Amino acid sequence: MKKCVSVLIVSLLLAPLAQPPARAAEGGWTGNLNFILGAKFLDEDDWDPVEDQAALGIGADFRARSWPVNLAVGLRASTLEDDDVVMQGVVSAWEGSTKELRLGLNKIWEPTAALRPFIGGGLAAVSAELEREALGIRERDHDTGTGLWLSGGVYWTFGADINLGFEVGYSQARMTLFGAKGEAGGTHAAVLMGSHW
């Protein structure tokens, strides 16, 4: 159910961007819709043994051509499972995951027709879940919080509308899992690909 709600929220936020590029250009708007594939590195003290997680995401940014910055919205999800963790002689299984809904601003430069370095940041609504199982006993905890995100990178636009590039960034949001306060944000590194209009 939570996944369905997340997908619905992102779909509603991105729906205005679904217009054809020609129509967007006629209206004086420009922007990007990119998919992200990479990794999220969480604090080892808080997330060991599932601190280095695979990450997926989608992000959009758009602006009127007269604006100096783009409005940005995105969704990131990360997860890792480890079924063979030995702690104090006991084999246990762990699974950790996070989700981030991001709202903010992107500044994109265009030094050439194809090259586009960028930096962005804003607010993040973050949820995190941690599950562990040992000796037939399964425990799960989750929490939500708000924080900040910051990212930067560069992409190249090929054929006027295909984006390919990379980004690095950081997010932060404090929350409590299994009674311990910790950080559900982390360092991000990813490749991106998508479309420009």
**pLDDT at res. 1:** 43
**pLDDT at res. 9:** 47
Taking only the tens of pLDDT, the chain with its 197 residues reads: 455 445 444 444 444 444 444 444 455 999 999 999 999 999 999 999 999 999 999 999 999 999 999 999 999 999 999 987 776 677 789 999 999 999 999 999 999 989 999 999 999 999 999 999 988 899 999 999 999 999 999 999 998 899 999 999 999 999 999 999 999 999 999 999 999 99
**pLDDT at res. 6:** 52
DSSP string, 114-157: SEEEEEEEEEEEEEEEEEEEETTEEEEEEEEEEEEEEEEEEEEE
Task: Give the CATH number for residue 119.
Answer: 2.40.160.20
**pLDDT at res. 17:** 45
**Domain that residue 60 falls in:** 2-196
Q: How far apart are CA 6 and CA 37, in angstroms?
A: 18
Give the total number of structural domains in the chain: 1
On whether the CB atoms of residues 154 and 117 are closer than 8 A, the answer is yes
Q: Over the Cα atoms of the chain, what is R_g?
A: 19
**pLDDT at res. 113:** 87
- pTM comes to 0.82
Q: How far is CA 75 from CA 25, 121, 146, in A?
A: 25, 13, 14
Q: Which two tokens stand for residue 170?
A: 């950081």
